[in-house]
């Protein structure tokens, strides 16, 4: 029996609308998958009723294989960027 990755939904936080749009457009250009759904929602962070931060939550659903007739094996690789991680400093 084989296991095929059919689709994934990824969620991102972007600082600006332009960055969110660029992220979705970049994903749509990929030849490794098909973007079947995307959304961009403005979220706010409030403290004591006052808006203290605003960001864009971007959701992208990527389809790698047809569920009825998958034709490729896909193994996602997620890498972390430790460049900005202060916990790695001694």
Model confidence pLDDT, tens digit, residues 3-40 = 999 999 999 999 999 999 999 999 999 999 999 999 99
Domain ranges of the chain: 1-67
Check residue 65 and report its DSSP letter: S
CA distance 23 to 64: 18
Instruction: Tell me the whole-structure pTM to 2 decimals.
Output: 0.80
Confidence label for 90 from pLDDT (cuts 50, 70 and 90): very low
The pLDDT tens digits for 30-89 are 999 999 999 999 999 999 999 999 999 999 999 999 999 999 898 888 887 766 555 545
């Amino acid at each position: 029996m084989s296991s095929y990755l059919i689709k994934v939904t990824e969620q991102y936080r972007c600082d600006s609308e332009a960055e969110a749009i660029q992220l979705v457009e970049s994903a749509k250009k990929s030849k490794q998958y098909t973007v079947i759904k995307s959304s961009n929602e403005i979220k706010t962070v409030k403290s004591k009723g006052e808006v203290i931060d605003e960001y864009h939550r971007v959701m992208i659903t990527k389809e790698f294989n047809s569920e009825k007739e998958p034709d490729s094996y896909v193994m996602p690789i997620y890498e972390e960027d430790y460049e900005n991680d202060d916990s790695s400093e001694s």
